């Protein structure tokens, strides 16, 4: 009985005895760069030491962006212009941006450093429920104001109410001056 042709076996190699249910390891040089079971070298991904882990953001400060609004694009804008528009609430976290060099579409909240890593809804809930204890200010990174608000019981309720209204209107940034997500 003749064996069927095996494309992974060189001429003259004898087939190894196999038990049912076992598969032989792939032959070297059959499209595999390494031996079976050996760790493979990383062939893709970002190099080690890159600061930003999001694809397309090797350095967001060196990228030009186009703003997408109601089916039209506006721009080009640089990174500092995006930060200024975010702090002035002219763009929202859900605003669509296109990177000029890669033609990739992203949301404004995904560009590192434009918006805060703090959530607006979390801040709103903290401000309305336990704002008189200063927890909302601690969450935003204002430690000194949080302690002062805690010691005065939210400015006897007045400061807590004003903060709750300001957070509702998105007028309070985080401690680094970035708009909340």
Q: Where are the domains of the chain?
A: 60-110, 120-168
Question: Could you tell me which residue, 37 or 124, shows the higher pLDDT?
Answer: 124
Mean pLDDT along residues 25-49: 52
Q: Which 3-state string (H, E, C) describes the chain?
A: CCCCCCCCCCCCCCCCCCCCCCCCCCCCCCCCCCCCCCCCCCCCCCCCCCCCCCCCCCCHHHCCEEEEECCEEEEEECHHHHHHHHHCCCCCCCCEEEECCCCCEEEHHHCCCCECCCCHHHHHHHHHHHHHHCHHHHHHCCHHHHHHHHHCHHHHCHHHHHHHHHHHCCCCCCCCCCECC
Query: How much is the pLDDT for 22?
Result: 55
Residue 126 above 50 pLDDT? yes
| Nearest residue to 93 via CA among 77, 109, 69, 112 | 109
- More confident call, 149 vs 44: 149
Q: Which residue has the higher pLDDT, 43 or 73?
A: 73
Does the pTM surpass 0.85? The reply is: no
Q: What residues are paired with 107 via a beta bridge?
A: 96
Say whether pLDDT at 165 is over 80.
yes
> Which pLDDT value is given to residue 104?
84
CATH topology of domain 60-110: Dna Ligase; domain 1 (3.30.1490)
């Amino acid at each position: 009985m003749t064996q069927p042709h095996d494309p992974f076996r060189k001429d003259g190699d004898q087939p190894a005895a196999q038990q049912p249910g076992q598969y032989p390891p792939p032959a070297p040089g059959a499209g595999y760069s390494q031996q079976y079971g050996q760790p493979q070298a990383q062939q893709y991904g970002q190099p080690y030491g890159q600061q930003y882990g999001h694809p397309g953001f090797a350095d967001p400060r060196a990228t030009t962006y186009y703003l997408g609004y109601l089916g039209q694009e506006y721009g080009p804008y640089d990174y500092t212009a995006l930060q200024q528009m975010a702090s002035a609430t002219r763009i929202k976290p859900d605003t669509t941006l296109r990177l000029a060099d890669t033609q990739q579409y992203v949301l404004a909240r995904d560009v590192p450093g434009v918006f805060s890593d703090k959530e607006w809804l979390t801040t709103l809930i903290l401000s309305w429920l336990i704002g008189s204890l200063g927890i909302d200010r601690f969450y935003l990174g204002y430690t000194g104001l949080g302690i002062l608000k805690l010691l005065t019981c939210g400015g006897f309720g007045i400061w807590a109410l004003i903060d709750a209204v300001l957070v509702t209107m998105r007028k309070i940034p985080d401690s680094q001056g970035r708009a909340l997500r």
